[in-house]
Structure 1
Amino acid sequence: MPDSSTQLSELLVKKPQAKPITPRRSPTVLTSDSDEATVENCCRIAPRPVMMIRFRMCSGEFIALPYPMLKQARSDDADRSFELRFAGGDIHSVTVEGQNLWRLFDYVCHQRVIEISESDRTVAMNAADGDWVVTKLSYK
């Protein structure tokens, strides 16, 4: 059995420093170096994750919910609709319906959507092919 002085001297030997870990930026999460939000169709998208998401109905009513309370984002067909389930509070789920919503769903999953606005019929009818349009927002 080695004596304690040998073990102690082994512990005191200087070890090489590990390289520091440098964070990588994911292109899906951060696509712009600008700090300004962009407006895409019926939504405002931030270049970085945000704390709250607002839902604005055609009637003028709006609600804002914190992303940390978002416990599930689910969809059977992200092109047509998706549901956001929140923990606690009075509002437990928000359903977003429309067309070409898959990119919006992806932005929500990355916590970059600042606001989703419900479009009226004229916006939905005049939307270019491939643009996302939110035709209905509902919450319960």
Structure 2
Amino acid sequence: MRNMRDDYTILPYPKFNEDQKEYLTGMMDNYMVIGIPISERDTDFVSLVTEALNYEAERILYPAYYDDALQNKYRRDDETIEMLNILMNGRTADFGTLFQNNLDNISCWFRWIVASKENTSASYVAERKDYIEMLTAAIVTKYREGALG
């Protein structure tokens, strides 16, 4: 992108209203989730290795990608660094996106509605409200029971 001739910039999502203090950046559906099979006997060791790998990725890979590549090699101007910092400092994980496969692809609903060119968002959500609440409760229950967390 640094060689792109058209002028462009990176911007955060707008704030919801003037009461929102910081910009928030929703991470999309490329979360890294690690599962440990229930048959694994030494979950403490697997957890230790997983934590160590994540620590090293944060220590080595993040600076190489974020600092070296994004902020230096590929940036166009100083404003890019400022915008990247705003985006990274406001990262949030959305429950609906994280569990979209378990929640009837909820994070895609509005994309589908817009693509259909029909004004059905209120009825679409209303029709699925009870179902989504039931699915959400099931996920929360599994976490409380320790089945997912």
- Which TM-score band applies after superposition, normalised by the shorter structure? under 0.3
TM-score, normalising length: structure 1: 0.22
Which entry has the higher C-alpha Rg, 1 or 2? 1
More strand by share: 1
TM-score, normalising length: structure 2: 0.21
More helix by share: 2
Relative contact order: is structure 1 or structure 2 higher (C-alpha 8 Å, sep ≥ 6)? 2
